[in-house]
Chain A
């Protein structure tokens, strides 16, 4: 079975502060991990995927297989980063994305 856990339902930081959204997964195979984001009144959209090892909007996420984690980080949070963030895992079932519970990030001015 595949499972994704985001321990923080709510996360508040001030503008300019570092932010880390935690994600842990459970999967017996080789996982593919993603972060999706949903801004207010917008559709859920892909933020980044571990395979790309890219930085999107200043966010990065490193897959740590030893700790089974895929935490999302940004060194300096901006107000426009306020959104709902979902960590997701794709296993062997075709297209079956398992989502975490989501973390609502609020960046205060």
Chain B
């Protein structure tokens, strides 16, 4: 089944903890992304990697550190979790550019709740 898969689906943790979300794609894409969907459903890009290299790094706290061991994987590690980090995090992938000829394919999302 070709897709973008991310784990876990739900993550509930306490403030101050460190957690990771994993993402894998088997679509043969060379670019992967992390998007954050906040409580108002606003969807905003956080990071983008192309062939393991960081190409987009939006204004995101240093507590968030993406890691791409290979072009099929992009993990997101979050240190010292805060209440405001509660959101749904979406992984996505595409061929480089993500333009009209290669739209983004999204994972199912990880709902992070920080208590």
List the interface of chain A (C-beta within 8 A of B): 32, 34, 36, 42-46, 49-52, 84, 86, 90, 93-99, 101-102, 104
Contacts and interface: CB of A to CB of B under 8 A. Distances in A.
A59 B114 CA distance: 38
Nearest to B29: A95
Interface string B37-55: 0001111110010100001
Contacts of B44: 99
Interface of B: 4, 31, 33, 35, 40-45, 48, 50, 55-56, 90, 94, 96-101, 103-109
A99 B106 CA distance: 14
B98 A94 contact: yes
A97 B45 contact: yes
Contacts of A98: 45
Given A50-B100, A94-B56, A99 B48 contact: no
Nearest to A51: B100
Nearest to A33: B100
A101 B44 CA distance: 9
A102 B42 CA distance: 7
Q: Which of A50, A52, A96 has the most CB of B within 10 A?
A: A96
Contact of A102 (B41, B56, B100): B41
A44 B106 contact: yes
A43 B106 contact: yes
A86 B45 CA distance: 14
A98 B98 CA distance: 11
Contacts of A44: 43, 90, 106, 109
